[in-house]
Structure 1
């Protein structure tokens, strides 16, 4: 399959590391002009250099705030592909999570995507072509007991994405969600270390121990790579995925035991 996104502009939020950075690089490799986003100019510049400076530009803005989303929209008023990847997570006992933390998780993980899609998707409808992808998680379905606030926001993303796809049906615009499973990234490495401890030096081995203990239903038996998740997002951003909309596609390594 030859995916060609030449002439398309793609915005990937939270794309200075991990899955977001891999998505940005994958979209650029497919020919899209890519806008990377992060909270600091230094990290945004590093991401641009990683992806290759030609055809890549960046905007430093905190999309977890209304002002940050507005700044990003002002800098990049029109895109063809929107990947809502920005997100935060951290383990915390359920009854110890304060209001402020619930609100912070919802602002970053849910409202960022709503605010940006509210601006960009109507433009996509006007041009009768567009792709919006919400990077959710298998935690949306199988809520992790160590971070229920995170799982709650990921479930909300699925609802938002499905609702948006219904709102633009027949327009040539698709809206989908991707459900990664445990994936190797900068943040996940720290999380896995917290869950497993320092009993092993190799991150690869720590990941396998984490999967065995905490996600025993995994068929993959290891952490996925960010590139493996990015491949699904690049496909959903393409013309080849025109008939896929309103869907939640799993890249979870088989952690979820459901057949659909």
Structure 2
């Protein structure tokens, strides 16, 4: 199936690892020109070499306006940005009562403001050209509010609101803004969490995962972590489907018990 991305430029923020890397790989495999950013050139170079010949990386920290501008200008040098995937995000398990104000600010800067800064530039250009698609990578935690991940859940909920609000700016145009909610996925960071949990409990990763799905996510139907490549396919389809605007696509393995989404 031709998704119509061949030769078109896609920015995948934080695309060197995890879900972002899987999304970058999928777009590249379909013929797109892929731009990823990060804070370490060697890490970007390694990721781009593995993704393929049309992958390019630039050191750009989206926690400040200059980083967003650097990423946008670098991408534009390869052509008009047709797709933007806002993927940057941080998470950890924490005690709400122990999370400092500074840490809350860090969460909002990583999980919300990085997307605001680059979307402000890319969306204006898309509207001027009357063409383009933006996808925000949220999380099932945005709806399944998690007590030991309060800052993460809160900022991912805010991301859904940001995405829907920006979609209102596209009314009557061929530009679209959507969001995507992955469930717990077998990324490097998630696997590291379960490896640490298993070590602390004196058990295996497999046993820790079994307990997790029994006690924390009993609604998850596969009862296993999601392969990141599945999200690459899902985001590609969402980004290129002209019938989808202002919507949130769930890919959580059925963890959220709802007939909607």
Normalization by structure 2: what TM-score? 0.93
Kept in 1, the 8 Å contact 2:220–2:254? The answer is: yes
Q: How does 1:1-260 map to 2 (within 5 A)?
A: 1-52=1-52, 54-77=53-76, 78-196=80-198, 197-201=200-204, 203-238=205-240, 241-260=241-260
Q: CA deviation at 1:215?
A: 1.3
Q: What do the CA deviations read for 1:77-133 (whole angstroms, capped 9, x no partner)?
A: 441100000110011100100011100010011011111111001111122210100
Q: CA deviation at 1:158?
A: 0.3
* In 2: Cα distance, 1:99 partner to 1:33 partner: 39
The range that moved more, 155-164 or 35-44, is 35-44
In the alignment, structure 2 segments of 5+ residues that lack a partner are none
- Provide closer, same or farther for how the CA distance between residues 172 and 119 of structure 1 changes in structure 2, counting only shifts above 3 A: same
* In 2: Cα distance, 1:235 partner to 1:184 partner: 21
* In 2: Cα distance, 1:175 partner to 1:208 partner: 36
* In 2: Cα distance, 1:25 partner to 1:200 partner: 34
Instruction: Tell me how large the CA RMSD over aligned residues is.
Output: 1.5
Q: CA deviation at 1:257?
A: 0.7
Normalization by structure 1: what TM-score? 0.93
- Provide closer, same or farther for how the CA distance between residues 200 and 230 of structure 1 changes in structure 2, counting only shifts above 3 A: farther
Q: CA deviation at 1:194?
A: 4.1
User: Number of residues paired by the alignment?
Assistant: 256
The range that moved more, 204-213 or 149-158, is 204-213
Question: Secondary structure of 1:76's partner?
Answer: helix
Q: What do the CA deviations read for 1:42-95 (whole angstroms, capped 9, x no partner)?
A: 11011101101x211111122233332232223234411000001100111001
* In 2: Cα distance, 1:192 partner to 1:145 partner: 18
* In 2: Cα distance, 1:208 partner to 1:131 partner: 38
- Provide closer, same or farther for how the CA distance between residues 182 and 112 of structure 1 changes in structure 2, counting only shifts above 3 A: same
